[in-house]
Amino acid sequence: MKERLTVDELKKYELDILKFIDYVCKKYNIKYFVSYGTLLGAVRHKGFIPWDDDIDVAMYREDYERFQKAVIEENNDRYTILSKDNSDWYFQNFLVVIDKHTLLEDSVKRNRKDSNVFVDVFPVDRFNDLNFVKKAHLMVTLKHICFIKKKYIIHKDSRIKDFCRVVFWHLLAFVNPRFFTKKIQKLVEITPETATILKNGIETVITLDEIQKGDILITKPGQKIAVDGEIVERTCTF
């Protein structure tokens, strides 16, 4: 027999999922942190924001990948992962940890997809080029329009904006949201995590955060270019 959860009961289920995430991260030495409204609520309200009912967790990409493997290895009978890699319909570029003993009725998507009570786990990637961020944001917006019901894209912030959203909503009616999921993933994958610079005649590997204006980057055949810049010299060695 199904029992509908109250908001407070829903929050308790989510907190139990968070405890499982914390357990896995401590066991496998994985760093994580709460983010978005969850972080704001923890600091300002010492708990949930009164009008918020979800939990957001974030991890740096390398920890995020390790976390996925760790949860699979745990093989818990109640908590598991739902992601684009283990589902034929899930289309977000982040995973959720779900409680398999619950059912979450979907009222948002065009094509209903019921799931479970969940906690979002976001990967944090490093970008030095804001163009990547702008492109990814555009892909996320189009993906959002793809899957959501029409009434949820009308924000009444601007007649022109709402008109454009409705037009795109109709144009994207037959596009699978996973099309944009793959586009976003490719954007992430083409950005390297490190770069090689030439300083005082010595090649040094640094993180993207350490790159400074004026640095000379060394890029070898097949390597990804870390940032936008100007080619000042080209050499070829056989």
* Shared domain check, 112 and 21: yes
What are the tens digits of pLDDT across the range 70-98? 999 999 999 999 999 999 899 999 999 99
* Shared domain check, 17 and 115: yes
Q: How far apart are CA 171 and CA 4, in angstroms?
A: 36
Is the pTM higher than 0.75? The answer reads: yes
* Shared domain check, 154 and 64: no
Residue ranges with strand state E in 35-88 = 56-60, 79-82
* Shared domain check, 166 and 61: no
- Domain membership flag for residue 53: yes
At 173, the amino acid letter reads A
**Is the CB of residue 148 less than 8 Å from the CB of residue 91?**
no
What are the tens digits of pLDDT across the range 167-211? 999 999 999 999 999 999 988 877 676 778 878 888 888 776 677
- Domain membership flag for residue 2: no
- Domain membership flag for residue 147: yes
* Shared domain check, 155 and 53: no
* Strand pairing class (33-34; 56-60): antiparallel
What are the tens digits of pLDDT across the range 202-230? 888 877 667 777 788 777 666 666 566 66
Return the CATH number at 46.
3.30.460.40
* Shared domain check, 183 and 196: no
* Shared domain check, 15 and 89: yes
Domain span at residue 234 reads: 192-238
Look at residue 93 and give its three-state secondary structure. coil
* Shared domain check, 113 and 197: no
What is the domain count for the chain?
3
Buried (b) or exposed (e) across 143-179, using 16+ Cβ within 10 A?
A: bebbbbeeebbeeeeeeeeeeebeeebeebeeeebbe
